Amino acid sequence: MTNAAADTTTAALAQARHRELAIEHLLFGTIRFLARENPDLLAILESSLDHLWDKADDGTRDDEAVRDVARRFLKSLQAER
């Protein structure tokens, strides 16, 4: 891989990470706000996790890892109650 290709890959990964962190922050805040108004929301979301799956169609697909991230996300919100 050339330096230019490595730089492009590094920049793309950094942009993806930045988007992920921003979306996670906004989503976390939104769910926190809604959960205050609707106490059953977190339980409803938790009960829906069986339907969550990884969209990858290669060897990196890991449905349970995606569900685990969601469970940890919900656990953080539940701890704030």
DSSP state of 80: T
pTM of the model: 0.75
Nearest alpha carbon to residue 74 among 50, 38, 44: 44
Containing structural domain, residue 21 = 3-79
Q: Are 72 and 49 in contact (CB under 8 A)?
A: no
Residue with tokens 């992920």: 20
Give the count of domains, the chain.
1
Which pLDDT tens digit goes with each residue over 10-65?
989 999 999 999 999 999 999 999 999 998 999 999 999 999 999 999 999 999 99
Q: Are 78 and 42 in contact (CB under 8 A)?
A: yes
